[in-house]
Chains A and B, each alone.
Chain A
Amino acid sequence: AQSVTQLDSQVPVFEEAPVELRCNYSSSVSVYLFWYVQYPNQGLQLLLKYLSGSTLVESINGFEAEFNKSQTSFHLRKPSVHISDTAEYFCAVSQETSGSRLTFGEGTQLTVNP
């Protein structure tokens, strides 16, 4: 079985400040890791993923996440956030190479204040 824990349910920050959203996972086998973002009143969108290779993965809008196997973590970071980054962020894992069956964390609400 696999599980995901997002360590912070809410993260308030000021605009242009750095942010880190924490995600830890538990699995007895290799996993594939994902971050999804949900803007208000919308469905989820894939932000970035780790499948293999470089442990640092980046998104097109400045977010990055680092896979740390020894600490079983996949924390999401951004060096300078914008108001438009306000959303709920979900970490997810899959044990399947197809990424079909995802287990989601509880979500972290990021609120960026002016």
Chain B
Amino acid sequence: NAGVTQTPKFQVLKTGQSMTLQCAQDMNHNSMYWYRQDPGMGLRLIYYSASEGTTDKGEVPNGYNVSRLNKREFSLRLESAAPSQTSVYFCASKRDSGTGWAQYFGPGTRLTVL
């Protein structure tokens, strides 16, 4: 049981390049999330998916797209990276029934855009 996994762990991009961050969970959770973490700003929600086939914008969606490929996987795509997107990106998942209140986080992807 690996929990939430993210790839890659580190990435350096040049301005204008594109890339996809991958996230997978093996806990059969319905909800999945993408956050970015910046110093002094906590975590901010980029997009989330309440179930397979649905996605919704969070607080800071501009410059990003997401795909909920199936129940396990939720990817985040940067079409044209900008230095302002330098951040640590976390994926999380959550069970939505019973007492499933906790969001479970992956280890993060540290992205630098030059």
- Chain A residues with a Cβ under 8 A of chain B: 4, 6, 9, 32, 34, 41-46, 49, 51, 90, 98-107
- For chain B, give the interface size range: 20 to 34
Within 8 A of A (CB), among B57-110: 58-59, 90, 92, 94, 96, 101-108
A32 to B94, CA, bound (A): 16
Does the CB pair A101–B96 fall under 8 Å? no
The CA of A43 and the CA of B103, in the complex, are separated in Å by: 11
Q: Is the interface of B mostly helix, strand, loop or mixed?
A: strand
Contact partner, B103, options A32, A102, A107, Cβ 8 Å: A102
In the complex, what's the smallest C-beta–C-beta distance from B6 to chain A, in angstroms? Answer: 9
Set of chain A residues within 8 Å of B105, measured between Cβ atoms: 43-45
Min CB distance A93 to B, Å, is 11
Selected A-B contacts with CB under 8 Å, 20 pairs: A9-B40, A32-B101, A43-B104, A43-B105, A44-B43, A44-B92, A46-B101, A46-B103, A49-B101, A49-B102, A99-B101, A100-B50, A100-B94, A100-B96, A101-B48, A102-B43, A102-B45, A104-B42, A106-B40, A106-B41
